[in-house]
Amino acid sequence: MSDSPLAELVQRLPELRLLTEPGDLEHYGRDWTRRWTPTPLAIALPSSVDEVQAIVCWANELNVALVPSGGRTGLSGGAVAANGELVLSLERMNRVLDFNAVDRTLTVQPGITLQAVHDAARGNGLLYPVDFAARGSCSIGGNIATNAGGIRVIRYGNTREWIAALKVVTGNGELLELNRGLIKNSSGYDFRQLMIGSEGTLGVVVEATLKLTDPPPLSQVMLLALPDMDALMQVFALFRSRLSLQAFEFFTDHALHHVLAHGAQRAIDGDYPYYVVTEFDAVDEKTQEIALATFEQAVEKGWVSDGVLAQSDAQAAALWRLREGITESLAPHRPYKNDVSVKVSAVPAFLHEMQALLTHEYPQIEVVWFGHIGDGNLHINVLRPDDLDEVAFVAQCDHVTRLLATTLQSHGGSISAEHGIGLVKRAYLESTRSAAEIMLMKGVRKVFDPNGILNPGKLFMDN
């Protein structure tokens, strides 16, 4: 055996692409959190399932931790390598392997971007409906690892709903073929679903078969300005009862301010505290009339102050940019992020408590809210003031997150709706999952990854 783990890896897999330059270590060792200093051992870019299996076997034998890595657009530190791990980047495994018109499935390698999946589905006359702003950079493997949600969950559900089959290399190097694309399969535990959302702690996804569906019906996009917070769920209930919604997203005036400063076009004059971007089926004149009547009704009730209905695809895209551009517009501030959820029915009460908490705890700090209100999922971005150093800022935000976790617990909510636990939220996992559940989760982890080489330190405080 060679004298260093890396030399041994090179000896075993001479064809494996390995990167060790400082710039590469930095690039592949971090995700969008930017909070940890990346210090990976090296970056491995396998090009086949065999290579992935060989790397996992090597890691077990030489006791090297692995960080499975996709597009690294994650916001919870799930793909950060800050402890000398080998980054296992699936970037080169990025091809479409098969389209099956009868099964309406697309089989892909994990490193393919979500955008490329959309394009491939569309090219075959169908739709892969999970969608969100990072579509051009995130990978399907990462989407699966976090059970990614996004802007169309209200209509189509999360990633979990769209996985027909997975091939996974477990922590001890075994290749599992999970569910094999079956629609009906009542034959015991569904490990495919267990892998989805497991944040790279149980296995490495090396192939995924995605379900596709009919392209969406013609739709319209509307931007609404709302006078107060209570109006959000009132408008939601009204619109949902009259229209077939594809998306219902909200943001505050603070978010609008940042996104406009970042180059988006103002669509409504005047200042309002809350905004909604909604997209709904509008297949004919009748549904368009219903949409306008619904809008007018909301105005009459005093729940909507102003609105714009997109008149072209370009205008629809401009309205969407007001919502989808928020994360990018805030990125230079390196915000502290919360990504929380409650049941839709609990949103009104939770919003009030959350607002009181944040106003009390962050009197001098800008807090930006937005998110998938129609799914009960809120994003809170806290911006560090210039005169507060990073460590003190994070400590303050961690303190508030603890309080927020208690509030969430009392409303039956979750500390992570769609971004995952990763490194960022592991201290709060127990606010969402019971001690018994966490113990079982760790037990499951031991079964799939007995030596704990897959993404150690993520999800749980102690592993």
Residues ≥6 apart with Cβ < 8 Å to 437: none
Size of the site for ligand 2HG (CB under 6 A): 8
CB-CB contact of 4 with 26 (8 Å): no
Assign 347 to helix, strand or coil: helix
Residue 90 one-letter amino acid: L
| Minimum CB distance to ligand 2HG, residue 337 (Å) | 4
What burial class does residue 214 get, using C-beta atoms within 10 Å of its C-beta: 0-12 exposed, 13-18 middle, 19+ buried? exposed
Among 192, 254, 379, 458, binds ligand 2HG (CB under 6 A): 379
Neighbour-count burial of 332, counting CB atoms closer than 10 A to its CB (0-12 exposed, 13-18 middle, 19+ buried): exposed
Least distance in Å: CB of 381 to ligand 2HG? 5
CA dist 374 and 217 (Å) reads: 20
- The binding track of 41-80 with respect to ligand 2HG, each residue x by CB under 6 A or -, is ----------------------------------x-----
Measured from the CB atom, is 99 or 362 closer to ligand 2HG?
362
Check binding of 258 to ligand 2HG (CB under 6 A). Answer: no
User: Judged by CB, which is closer to ligand 2HG: 287, or 327?
Assistant: 327
Contact between 133 and ligand 2HG by CB under 6 A: the answer reads yes
CB of 418 to ligand 2HG, least distance (A): 6
Mask: binding to ligand 2HG, 323-342, rule CB under 6 A, as x and -? ----x---------x-----
**At its nearest, how many Å lie between ligand 2HG and the CB of residue 417?**
8
| DSSP H helical ranges for 161-312 | 191-195, 229-242, 253-261, 285-300
Q: Is 73 left (phi over 0), alpha (psi -120 to 50) or beta?
A: alpha
**Which CB, 132 or 303, lies closer to ligand 2HG?**
132
Q: Is 135 in the site for ligand 2HG (CB under 6 A)?
A: no
Residue 285 burial (10 A CB sphere; 0-12, 13-18, 19+): exposed
Residue 336 — φ and ψ, nearest 5°? -85, 130
CB nearer ligand 2HG, residue 132 or residue 280 = 132
CA–CA gap between residue 124 and residue 101 (Å, rounded): 8
- Return the residue of 209, 220, 246, 381 that touches ligand 2HG, per CB under 6 A: 381
- Footprint on this chain of ligand 2HG (rule: CB under 6 A): 75, 132-133, 327, 337, 371, 379, 381
